[in-house]
């Protein structure tokens, strides 16, 4: 990454997607219980940075958290956009687990699903996705009524909502910029799961509104695709 893309490598996350395929394969995560709560947290197996469910992956995400917080001079980035060149590289899993790890520091963290085309954050967290960011940006609902608490202390979630006919226009609107400013004043960190860079322009527009962009590169990603995605982000 550093020699070919000429950008800092923030961290490497081990592949925990194959059950039993690695010596540190994840245990069953569907019944993990949040601290101080008697009810089971119905998380899927992609939530690994929580309650010691997957020590090796959790430690990798802690290293990523440290790198993110030290990535900017003066102060750590408050709004972090997570994306990738194409789908299937792990951006949603990375965004969700990074938000969980940040919430573990005692800071108030909002996980925002800004992938208005094929959202997955709600599936990783095992919650419904009826109303969310789309309804806020179209003025149908106020954001305050749609931001949900999660079983994880200090972590809040705003889902994507319904799929709109004009995702790029909504995400590039003044209302989106105002929303990020407003939410930034009320949260310590905002982790945003965006669309991939190459197929659509949504995340390129959104990248101009945040403090930093984390580009996730999958193990099978062609180098040319990663460089093309980075070039688009840097151009914006």
Contacts of 141 by beta carbon, 8 Å cutoff, 6+ apart: 131, 135
* pLDDT digit string, tens, across residues 161-211: 999 999 999 999 999 999 999 999 999 999 999 999 999 999 999 999 999
Q: For residue 179, report the phi and psi dihedrals to the nearest 5 degrees.
A: -65, -45
Q: For residue 30, report the phi and psi dihedrals to the nearest 5 degrees.
A: -70, -15
3-state secondary structure of 213: strand
Give the residue from 212, 216, 161, 153 showing the smallest Cα distance to 184: 212
Q: What global pTM score does this model have?
A: 0.88
- Positive or negative: CA dihedral 173, 103, 66, 218: negative
* pLDDT digit string, tens, across residues 116-126: 999 999 999 98
Say how far apart CA 10 and CA 183 lie, in whole Å.
Answer: 25
What is the C-alpha R_g of the chain? 17
The residue-averaged pLDDT of 44-72 equals 84
79 vs 140: which has the higher pLDDT: 79
Q: Which pLDDT band holds residue 53 (cuts at 50, 70, 90)?
A: low
Confidence check: pLDDT of 85 > 90? yes
Kindly state the helix (H) or strand (E) to which residue 92 belongs, with its residue range.
Answer: helix 91-103
The residue-averaged pLDDT of 76-104 equals 94
What would the two tokens of residue 89 be? 């590289």
Instruction: Give 100's Cβ-side CA count (13 Å radius).
Output: 27
* Burial environment of residue 38 by CB neighbours within 10 A (0 to 12, 13 to 18, 19 or more): exposed
Contact 68, 10 (CB under 8 A): yes
What would the two tokens of residue 232 be? 């688009």
Contacts of 226 by beta carbon, 8 Å cutoff, 6+ apart: 1, 4, 5, 85, 215, 217
């Amino acid at each position: 990454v550093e020699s070919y893309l000429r950008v800092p490598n923030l961290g490497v996350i081990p592949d925990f997607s194959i059950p039993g395929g690695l010596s540190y394969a994840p245990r069953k995560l569907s019944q993990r219980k949040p601290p101080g709560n008697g009810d089971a947290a119905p998380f899927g197996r992609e939530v690994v940075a929580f309650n010691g469910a997957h020590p090796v992956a959790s430690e990798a995400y802690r290293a990523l958290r440290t790198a993110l917080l030290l990535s900017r001079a003066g102060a750590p980035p408050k709004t972090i956009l997570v994306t990738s060149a194409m789908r299937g590289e792990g951006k949603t899993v990375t965004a969700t687990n990074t938000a969980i790890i940040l919430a573990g520091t005692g800071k108030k963290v909002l996980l925002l699903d800004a992938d208005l085309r094929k959202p997955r954050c709600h599936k990783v967290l095992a919650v419904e996705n009826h109303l969310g960011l789309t309804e806020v940006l179209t003025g149908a609902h106020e954001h305050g009524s749609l931001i949900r608490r999660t079983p994880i202390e200090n972590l809040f979630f705003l889902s994507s909502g319904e799929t709109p006919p004009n995702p790029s226009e909504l995400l590039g609107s003044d209302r989106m910029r105002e929303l990020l400013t407003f939410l930034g004043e009320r949260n310590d960190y905002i982790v945003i799961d965006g669309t991939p860079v190459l197929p659509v322009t949504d995340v390129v527009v959104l990248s101009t509104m945040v403090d930093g962009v984390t580009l996730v590169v999958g193990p099978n990603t062609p180098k040319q695709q990663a460089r093309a995605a980075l070039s688009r982000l840097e151009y914006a």
